[in-house]
Amino acid sequence: MNLRPLIEKLHRTREEFESAARRVPVDDWRTPPREGAWSAAEVVAHVTMVETLMTGAAAKITRKPHLPVPLWRRIHIPVSLVAWRGVRVESPIPLDTLLLDDREVMLSRLVEQRWRTLSVLQSGRDSNLRKYRVQHPLLGSLHYYDWFRTLAAHDARHTKQLHEILKVHKNS
């Protein structure tokens, strides 16, 4: 499978995410923009956690034979909708506050995780891993490559959230 477009998308969305995160002033890094909202640090921790869990699951499922999934169970919501912030969704993964740290430490951790993610994705370069499917908590049954597309959309979603945080801090 030609992974180049997917890898380029992962790079592009991550660059945009990191750029937005770096624009959050250090003094505002851990300050939520409003009551009940996440700070930039919490957003980065969440993105790191989701990617770590997803990459680990992707590496794990390919070690076993794939299980056949009937066509009707392969129907899912389009991955691109993950980037849309019109609907606020509470993460099914509780935030690990131990990941909260200085901006550069957190972004360095995020960069390291992305390299691990790309390594897992590229390790299956010579295989067709579309047969491997895992249920997403909101989207439905996704195949191996859709999970990586979800990471790009997830970055885009949270880049928008960082822009919202920047706007609030700029106006305060």
Here the tokens at position 16 are 């945009």
Looking at mean pLDDT, say which of 42-46, 83-87, 142-146 comes out highest. Answer: 42-46
pTM of the model: 0.92
Question: CATH number of the domain that 63 lies in?
Answer: 1.20.120.450
Domain count, the chain: 1
pLDDT band at 126 (very low <50, low <70, confident <90, very high): low
Sign of CA dihedral 132, 90, 24, 106: negative
Q: Which domain holds residue 90?
A: 4-171
CA–CA gap between residue 81 and residue 16 (Å, rounded): 18
Sorted by sequence, the CB contacts under 8 Å of residue 110 that are 6+ apart come out as 14, 18, 44, 47, 48, 51
CA–CA gap between residue 23 and residue 43 (Å, rounded): 14
CA–CA gap between residue 50 and residue 76 (Å, rounded): 19
Q: What is the mean pLDDT of the chain?
A: 91
* Residues 162-170, mean pLDDT to the nearest whole number: 91
* Residues 65-93, mean pLDDT to the nearest whole number: 82
